[in-house]
Amino acid sequence: DVVMTQSPLSLPVTLGQPASMSCRSSQSLVFSDGNTYLNWFQQRPGQSPRRLIYKVSNRDSGVPDRFSGSGSGTNFTLKISRVEAEDVGVYYCMQGTNWPPEVTFGGGTKVEIK
């Protein structure tokens, strides 16, 4: 099974400053169709997760452009250009390349304000 490893576990950030988090997969996420099915989710405290980014770098509708995704193969990054208070929460990466049979999530990075 594909293992998704996120770092850091916790990310204290200053309001208005950038933030960056990493997601690594145990095997390449490039699918046979050439796409890489790596998504990012945000979960604010007390809420359900929400998808932010799909296929590495595509922002979902309504997602602020301060969020950006990048990477390839087995290494991926989510960046927030200027952190706002509403960005506090846990961020998860998820691979769908090796589905079926398995969709796999990373363990999450918790973003908090310093």
Partner 1 sequence: QVQLVQSGAEVKKPGASVKISCTATGYTFTTFPIHWVRQTPGQRLEWMGWINAANGNTKYSRKFQGRVTITRDTSATTAYMELSSLTSEDTAVYYCARGGITDWGQGTLVTVSS
Residues of this chain that bind partner 1 (CB under 8 A)? 1, 39, 41, 48-51, 54, 60, 90, 92, 94, 96, 99-105, 107-108
Among residues 109, 35, 106, the alpha carbon closest in space to that of 72 is found at 35
Instruction: Provide, rounded to whole angstroms, the least separation between the CB of residue 28 and partner 1.
Output: 20
Instruction: Provide, rounded to whole angstroms, the least separation between the CB of residue 51 and partner 1.
Output: 5
Distance CA 76, CA 70 (A): 6
- By beta-carbon proximity to partner 1, the closer residue of 63 and 81 is 63
- By beta-carbon proximity to partner 1, the closer residue of 60 and 81 is 60
Q: Which token pair is 47?
A: 């809420």
Q: Which residues are within 8 A (CB) of 22 and not within 5 positions of it... i.e. 6 or more apart?
A: 6, 7, 8, 75, 76, 77
Distance CA 19, CA 34 (A): 29
Lookup result for tokens 């969709």: 103
- By beta-carbon proximity to partner 1, the closer residue of 1 and 16 is 1
Instruction: Provide, rounded to whole angstroms, the least separation between the CB of residue 17 and partner 1.
Output: 25
Instruction: Provide, rounded to whole angstroms, the least separation between the CB of residue 112 and partner 1.
Output: 14
- By beta-carbon proximity to partner 1, the closer residue of 76 and 92 is 92
